[in-house]
C-alpha cells in the first residue's frame, strides 16, 4: 500500500486554512467597524483597517440611558431556564414516543406531527397568553416558547429508537421504572442529540424578541435582543428626522457602528456556549454499549 504524498497533505492544510480565514474575516470586519468613527464609515465605508477609531457605539450601548446590564441578565435567565425546561420536556416526550411498550405512541406522534403542518395563528396564541396572565411577567419570555419544537421532538425520538431494547429490558428485569430508565440510561446515551437540541433551544431563546414585543410593556423585563432592536430603531428615526429638518441637531449618532457593536454584544454568549457542546456532536456514546 503506497503512502499518500506529503504535498497533498500540505495542499489540504492550505485549503482548510484559506477557508478558515474567509470564515473569520467577516467577523473581524464586524468587530473593527464597531470601533470605527461614524464619520469615517460614511466617508470610506466598512474598513478592515479603519482610519479613525471610536468607542462611541459602545459608550452609547453600555453607558447610555438604556439599562443594558439588566436586559443582559434577563436574557441570560430566560435562556438558561427556558433551555433547561424545554430540553427536559422534549427528552421525556421523545422517550415516550420511542418506548415500544407505550400504547398509542404512534397516534400520539401523529398528533405532534400535525402541529408541524398546521398553525393556529397569532391571535389565538396572543389570547391564550393573556388568559394565562403571563403578560408583563418574565414567564411571558419563557413559557410561550417552552412548548417543544416538533422537529426537535422527532429528532430525539429517532435517536432514542436506535438504542438497543436489551438495555431497557435488562433494567426492567432489575425492577427499574420508566423514570429511572429514561434519566439514568437513555438520556446519558443520548447526549449528542440532547446537546444538539440544547444549542437549538438556547439560540432560539437568546435571539427571541417577538415575545417581548407582544407580551411585555415593562422596561425592566426587556430582553437584550428587544432592547437593542428598540435602540437601533430609535437611532434610525432620529437620523431620518435630522436629515429631513424635523428636529435640529448636528450631533451624528453612530448608527452603523452601533449595529456592529450590537452584533458583537449579542453573539458573545453563543460563541462561548458552543464549544462546550461541540464535543458531543461527534462522540459516539452507543459504540460498545451492548455486546451481542
- Contact indicator for 66, 227 with CB cutoff of 8 Å: yes
CA angle 28, 29, 32 (to 5 degrees): 85
Highest mean pLDDT among 134-143, 160-169, 254-263: 134-143
pLDDT tier at 4 (50, 70, 90 boundaries)?
A: low
Q: How far from the centroid of its chain's Cα atoms is residue 132's Cα?
A: 26
> Is residue 235 scored above 80 in pLDDT?
no
Rounded Cα distance between 170 and 192, Å, is: 23
Which three cell numbers mark 161? 429508537
> Is residue 290 scored above 50 in pLDDT?
no
Query: What percent of the chain has pLDDT above 70?
Result: 84
68-253 fold: MetI-like fold (1.10.3720)
Q: Which residue, among 163, 161, 186, has the nearest Cα to 176 in the 3D structure?
A: 186
Output the pLDDT for position 282: 52
pLDDT tier at 77 (50, 70, 90 boundaries)?
A: very high
Rounded Cα distance between 222 and 216, Å, is: 7
Per residue in 105-159, pLDDT (tens digit) is 888 888 888 877 777 778 888 888 888 888 888 998 998 887 667 888 888 888 8
User: Domain boundaries in the chain?
Assistant: 68-253
Rounded Cα distance between 165 and 189, Å, is: 13
pTM of the model: 0.78
Amino acid at each position: 500500500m503506497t503512502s499518500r504524498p506529503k504535498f497533498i497533505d500540505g495542499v489540504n492544510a492550505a485549503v482548510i486554512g484559506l477557508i478558515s480565514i474567509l470564515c473569520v474575516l467577516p467577523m473581524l470586519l464586524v468587530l473593527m467597524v464597531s470601533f470605527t468613527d461614524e464619520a469615517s464609515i460614511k466617508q470610506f465605508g466598512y474598513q478592515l483597517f479603519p482610519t479613525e477609531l471610536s468607542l462611541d457605539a459602545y459608550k452609547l450601548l453600555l453607558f447610555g440611558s438604556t439599562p443594558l446590564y439588566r436586559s443582559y441578565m434577563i436574557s441570560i435567565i430566560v435562556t438558561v431556564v427556558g433551555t433547561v425546561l424545554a430540553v427536559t420536556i422534549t427528552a421525556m416526550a421523545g422517550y415516550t414516543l420511542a418506548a415500544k411498550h407505550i400504547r398509542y405512541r404512534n397516534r400520539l406522534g401523529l398528533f405532534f406531527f400535525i402541529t408541524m403542518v398546521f398553525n393556529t395563528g397569532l391571535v389565538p396564541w396572543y389570547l391564550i397568553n393573556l388568559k394565562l396572565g403571563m403578560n408583563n411577567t418574565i414567564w411571558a419570555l419563557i413559557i410561550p416558547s417552552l412548548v417543544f419544537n416538533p422537529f426537535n421532538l422527532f429528532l430525539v425520538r429517532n435517536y432514542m429508537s436506535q438504542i438497543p431494547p436489551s438495555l431497557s429490558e435488562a433494567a426492567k428485569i432489575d425492577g427499574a421504572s420508566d423514570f429511572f430508565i429514561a434519566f439514568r440510561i437513555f438520556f446519558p446515551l443520548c447526549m449528542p442529540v440532547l446537546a444538539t437540541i440544547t444549542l437549538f433551544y438556547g439560540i432560539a431563546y437568546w435571539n427571541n424578541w417577538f415575545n417581548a414585543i407582544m407580551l411585555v410593556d415593562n422596561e425592566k423585563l426587556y430582553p437584550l435582543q428587544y432592547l437593542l432592536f428598540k435602540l437601533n430603531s430609535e437611532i434610525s428615526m432620529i437620523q431620518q428626522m435630522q436629515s429631513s429638518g424635523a428636529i435640529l441637531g448636528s450631533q451624528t449618532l453612530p448608527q452603523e457602528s452601533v449595529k456592529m457593536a450590537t452584533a458583537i454584544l449579542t453573539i458573545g454568549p453563543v460563541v462561548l456556549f458552543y464549544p462546550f457542546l461541540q464535543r458531543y456532536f461527534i462522540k459516539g456514546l452507543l459504540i460498545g454499549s451492548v455486546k451481542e
